[in-house]
Chains A and B, each alone.
Chain A
Amino acid sequence: MRIEADPERCLGCLACEVACVEVHSPSDHVPRLKVTKGIGTEARFRGYSVPVVPRRFPILCRQCDEPACVTACKTGALWKDESGVVRLDRDRCVGCGMCQMVCPYGGVRVDRTAGSAYKCDACVEHGAPACVKACPVHALQLVTEG
C-alpha cells in the first residue's frame, strides 16, 4: 500500500500538507509530505523564450519494496508491515537521521531536537489517507495492489 503522486496533476495548493498535519496532530507539527517545485526553466516557442511554470512534486515516502531506511535504521524503529507500509515506532526512534541519509526521495523528515523522524504511514491508523481525501485534483492516489 502506498500513496502515489502525479506531478502532472498537482497544482501546489498544499491542501495535502494541511490535511496531513491536521490528522496527525497534536503529535506532529510538520506535514509528513511536502509539495515542492521543479526547476521551471525557460522553453523555446517559435524562436521565443517563454517561462515555464515549474511542475509541483509532492514528496512523500514511497513505501519502497526494499526500503533503504529500514535497513539503515539503528534502533529497529522502522519496519515494513504486512500491508507494505513502512512504519515508524516513535517510541524507539532516536532521531539519528540515518533513514534520511539513505532515502533517495527525501521522504523522511527528522526533528533532531525532538529526537524523532516523521514519515508517511498512509494513515493506516486513520482509515483512508487524509492527503488523498483532501487533494482536489486527484494528484494523490492510494495504490493498494502488490
Chain B
Amino acid sequence: MPNADVCDYLVIGCCAAGVAGIEGIRKRDKEGSIVVVGEEDVAPYTRCLLTDYMVGEVDMRKLTYRPMRFFEINKVRPMLGKKAVKLDANAKQVTLASGEVLSYRKLLLATGSSAVLYDVPGKELEGVHVLKCLRDAEGILADAKKTKKAVVMGGGLVGIMTATALAEMGLDVCLAVTSPHIMSQNIDDDAAAILEEHLREHKMRVLANAQVVEMIGKHRIEGVKLADGTVIECGVAVSAKGVRPNLALAEMAGIKGRRGILVDDHMLTTSPDAYAAGDVVECKGFISGELEVAHIWPVAVEQGHIAGENMAGGDVAYAGVVGMNTTTFFGLPVVNIGESKNSTPEQGEQFLVSSDTKARRYKKVVLRDGKVVGAVLMGDVDNAGVYKSMICTRVDVRAIREMLLAEEFDFGKLADALLTKQAIPPGQAGA
C-alpha cells in the first residue's frame, strides 16, 4: 500500500542519542521528514544532571538542553509522551501504545536503558527508588523531605552522585556498596580509597563489601538489611545497580543483540535501514576491539550523530567506544578515561602513579606497549582532554613517560614532544 504518511526518518527515543541523531540527519539532509517518538512529554533534558536538579543547583531551564523550539527549527514532528510498542522491520512500521502506526524509510533506535532495581525482598516498598528520569528525581526529592536518613545501594557514579546530593540536602546518608571499593567499574582501589576518605570527611557513611539482602518495612521502607545481619535505618532508599538496555523493540523485530543491539561501525543494526545508538547498543571498543556496552552521555551523542549522518547518506565510521566520566564530589573533581579500573597491571601494561591522599590528588596513567590506554585523574583534572587525546591518537609516549605524571604536563609538553619526535604517532618510524 503506497502511503503518503511514510516519514523519511523515524527516531525512537528523544534523549542524548535520539537528539544527536536528528542533528546528524539535518547536517546532511535539510528537508527530509523526521518524526521523533519520546516517552516523556517534555523537551529533551540531561539525565546526568538530575542529582544537581535534586539539590537545586540546576533548574528545569538548565536541565533542558534542547528547548521545544529545537523541533521547530529542525523541522521535526515530535510525538512526545508516546511509547513505541511494536516494530516490524520488514514492513518498516512502528506501532505506538496509542495505536498509531508510523511507517519509515530509515529508523534510529535510540531507546536507551532502564535502571535496574535491586532484586531483593521488599523492593516494592514505598520510598524505594531508582534514578533514571525526572519523575524518579521528583519522587526521591519528595521522600527525602519526609526523612532524615537515606541509604543508597550501589557504588557507581549514579550511586555516589545520588548519595552526595542527598547529603547536601542535609540527610544522613549511607552508601552501601557490594564491591570491595566504590566506583569499581571506573577507578582502581587506591584512587577509590582517596575518594572514600573524601566522602567520609563530608559525613557520608561508605560501606564496602555490603551486600543488601532485604529491604525492611511494612508499607514504607524503614531500613535495609545487609548479608552480615546489620540493619541500616532509612526513610528513603535508592537502588543504583546500573542500567539495562531497552531491547524489547529490537528483539521483537529479530534485530540481533546480546547485551545490547549489535551495530557495525556505521551504527547499522543487522536489519537494513535500521540504525541504533546510545545506551541500547553494543559495539566495538576503541581500545579492546571487543564488543562493549557504554552508558555514558558523550558516547551516546557521538554515536547518535554518526548514525544520523549515515542515515542521511553519509559514510562516517565510528572509531569505537572510549569510556570516560567526569564528576565533582563535594568539590573534588574525578576523571576516568579508557582502561582505568584495574588495580594491578595486566600483561604488557605499566602503571604510572602519583598519589597524595591528604591533598586529595591522584594521577594514574596506564601504558600498554608504550601507548596510553587509560587514565585516572583526581584533584587536578585541567588537562584531562590531553590524556584522552593521547589514548585516541595511539601516540607512542615511551620517551616522555616520566613527564606524564608531572603537575605541569599539558598540551605544550605533548606538542613539543611530537615536534622533537619524542612522542611518535602510529605509522611513523621509531626514534
Residues of A within 8 A of B (CB): 7, 34, 36-41, 54-57, 59, 68, 71-76, 92, 94-98, 100-106, 108-110, 112-113, 115
Contacts and interface: CB of A to CB of B under 8 A. Distances in A.
14 contacts: A38-B412, A57-B412, A59-B410, A71-B298, A72-B301, A74-B297, A75-B58, A100-B381, A100-B385, A101-B324, A102-B385, A104-B392, A105-B411, A106-B385
Contacts of B228: none
Interface in B217-247: none
Contact of B420 (A41, A56, A68, A74): A41
Given A102-B298, A106-B382, A112-B333, A75 B410 contact: no
A63 B419 CA distance: 22
Contacts of A92: 62
Contact of A39 (B327, B392, B413): B413
B410 A38 contact: no
Contact of A102 (B58, B63, B388): B388
B326 interface: yes
What are the 7 tightest A-B residue pairs by CB atom distance, in nearest-first order? Answer: A38-B416, A57-B412, A104-B389, A36-B412, A103-B385, A76-B65, A97-B326
Given A74-B48, A113-B331, 15 more contacts: A7-B415, A36-B412, A37-B412, A38-B415, A41-B420, A55-B419, A71-B298, A72-B301, A76-B65, A76-B66, A95-B328, A100-B381, A104-B388, A105-B386, A106-B382
B331 A59 contact: no
A24 B90 CA distance: 58
B85 interface: no
B400 A39 contact: yes
Nearest to B298: A72
A112 B65 CA distance: 20
A59 B412 contact: yes
A62 B113 CA distance: 35
B160 to A, nearest CB: 15
Contacts of B415: 7, 38, 57
Nearest to B65: A76
Given A39-B413, A75-B49, A104-B411, A97 B57 contact: no
Interface of B: 20, 46, 48-49, 52, 57-58, 62-63, 65-66, 297-298, 301-302, 305, 324, 326-328, 331, 333, 335, 337, 381-386, 388-389, 392, 400, 403, 408, 410-413, 415-417, 419-420, 422
A90 B275 CA distance: 35
Contact of A94 (B49, B413, B422): B49
Contacts of A36: 408, 410-413
* Central interface residue in B381, B416, B419, B422, by most chain A CB within 10 Å: B416
B328 A97 contact: yes
Nearest to A91: B62
Nearest to A113: B331
A51 B61 CA distance: 55
Nearest to B387: A101
A38 B297 contact: no
Contacts of B383: 106
B49 A101 contact: no
A105 B385 contact: yes
B59 to A, nearest CB: 10
B175 to A, nearest CB: 21
A46 B366 CA distance: 38
Given A38-B412, A94-B49, A94-B62, A104 B385 contact: yes
Nearest to B389: A104
B278 to A, nearest CB: 13
Contacts of B382: 100, 106, 109-110
Contact of B422 (A39, A100, A106, A112): A39
Given A36-B408, A39-B420, A106-B411, A98 B298 contact: yes
A104 B386 contact: yes
B57 A101 contact: no
A94 B297 contact: no
A65 to B, nearest CB: 12
B411 A74 contact: no
Contacts of B297: 72, 74, 98
Contacts of A75: 46, 49, 58, 62-63, 65
A74 B69 CA distance: 18
Given A39-B413, A92-B62, A112-B328, A101 B301 contact: no
Contacts of A71: 20, 298, 301-302, 305
Nearest to A97: B326
B58 A94 contact: yes
Contacts of A72: 297-298, 301
A57 B419 CA distance: 12
Contacts of B62: 75, 92, 94
Contacts of B326: 96-98, 100-101
A67 to B, nearest CB: 12
Nearest to A73: B65
A72 B48 CA distance: 12
Contacts of A97: 326, 328, 333, 335, 381, 384
